[in-house]
C-alpha cells in the first residue's frame, strides 16, 4: 500500500517535471538529448554517490519516452498509461494514469469508509501548485541565448525549487504538447485544476529550457539535479519507440 501511494506521488511529480522540462515542443516529433547530474546524497541511511547520466527524450502526438542507461519511462496519453522499465532487471511496471482505476485497485479489499478516506487522502496528495518568476539575468549556454526564471512547485513531497534558463532561439509551437497534456490529465480527478493552473504558470517561461537546476527534499534528504540540453531537433520517431524490449517481464505493482 505504501509503495503504491509513493508510486502515485512520484508519477504525479514526474508529470509535473514534464510540464517543467518541455513547455513548448514543436508540431513535429521532437528528439532531445540532455546531460543530467545528480549530487551525492543519503537515502534511507544509504549513501548515493553523485552520478552523471545522458538522457534521450522523444515527444510525439502519441506520448512521451525518456531513456537513460538504467531506466526508461513511457507516458501514453490516449491509453492513460505510465510504463516504468528497469533495464538491469529486464522488467517493467504498468500504472494507469486514470485515478479512478488506480483507486479502485488499491481499495478493492477495503470497506466503503476506508475507500472514502483513501480517496480523500489521495486527492490531497495529488494537489500541486507552481509559481514562475522571470528575472533580468541572461547568458549564453551551448550557443543559445538564455534568460533565467525561478520556478517553485509545491506538492505532497514538499517544495521543488528550480532555476530555469530558457531560450527563444529555438522556434517551436505547442500543438503536440497541448494534445498530450490534455490526454494525460483529463482522467485524473483532483489534478485537472492543479495541472491547468501549473500549465498556465509555466507559460511565463518563454521558449525552450536549456538548463535547469532543481532542489527537492526526498525522504528527508536534500537532492539537487542539474539538467543541460545538448541537442534539440525535429525528427521522425522510430516506429517502435513505445514498445517494451523483447524478453522483459511484467512486474506486479
**For residues 42 and 237, which has the higher predicted lDDT (pLDDT)?**
237
Scan for cell 517561461, then name that residue. 205
Is residue 244 pLDDT above 80, yes or no? yes
**For residues 49 and 77, which has the higher predicted lDDT (pLDDT)?**
49
222-237 tens-digit pLDDT: 889 999 999 998 889 9
The per-residue pLDDT for 6 is 44
CA distances from 89 to 36, 73, 200, 245 (A): 22, 15, 39, 12
Residue 68 to residue 77: CA distance in whole angstroms: 21
Q: Tell me, what CATH number does 144's domain have?
A: 2.50.20.10
18-37 tens-digit pLDDT: 554 444 444 578 888 999 99
Residue 194 domain boundaries: 2-250
Check: CB of residue 18 under 8 Å from CB of residue 63.
no
Mean pLDDT comparison of 29-43, 99-113, 171-185, highest-scoring range:
29-43
Is residue 98 pLDDT above 60, yes or no? yes
Helices (H), the chain: 2-21, 99-106, 112-126, 175-186, 192-202
Give how many domains the chain has, as a whole number.
1
Amino acid at each position: 500500500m505504501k509503495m503504491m501511494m509513493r508510486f502515485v506521488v512520484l508519477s504525479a511529480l514526474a508529470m509535473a517535471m514534464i510540464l517543467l522540462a518541455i513547455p513548448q515542443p514543436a508540431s513535429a516529433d521532437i528528439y532531445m538529448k540532455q546531460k543530467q547530474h545528480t549530487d551525492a546524497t543519503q537515502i534511507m541511511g544509504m549513501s548515493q554517490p553523485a552520478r552523471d547520466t545522458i538522457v534521450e527524450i522523444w515527444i510525439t502526438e502519441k506520448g512521451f519516452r525518456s531513456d537513460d542507461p538504467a531506466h526508461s519511462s513511457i507516458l501514453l496519453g490516449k491509453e492513460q498509461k505510465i510504463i516504468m522499465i528497469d533495464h538491469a532487471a529486464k522488467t517493467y511496471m504498468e500504472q494507469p494514469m486514470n485515478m479512478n482505476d488506480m483507486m479502485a485497485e488499491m481499495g478493492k479489499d477495503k470497506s466503503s469508509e476506508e475507500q472514502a478516506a483513501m480517496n480523500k487522502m489521495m486527492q490531497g496528495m495529488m494537489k500541486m501548485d507552481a509559481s514562475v518568476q522571470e528575472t533580468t539575468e541572461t547568458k549564453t549556454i551551448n550557443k543559445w541565448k538564455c534568460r533565467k526564471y525561478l520556478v517553485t512547485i509545491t506538492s505532497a513531497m514538499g517544495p521543488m525549487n528550480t532555476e530555469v534558463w530558457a531560450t527563444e532561439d529555438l522556434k517551436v509551437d505547442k500543438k503536440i504538447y497541448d494534445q498530450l497534456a490534455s490526454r494525460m490529465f483529463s482522467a485524473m480527478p483532483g489534478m485537472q485544476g492543479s495541472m491547468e493552473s501549473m500549465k498556465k504558470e509555466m507559460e511565463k517561461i518563454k521558449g525552450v529550457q536549456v538548463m535547469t537546476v532543481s532542489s527537492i527534499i526526498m525522504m528527508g534528504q536534500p537532492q539537487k539535479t542539474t539538467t543541460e540540453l545538448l541537442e534539440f531537433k525535429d525528427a521522425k520517431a522510430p516506429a517502435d519507440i513505445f514498445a517494451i524490449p523483447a524478453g522483459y517481464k511484467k512486474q506486479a505493482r
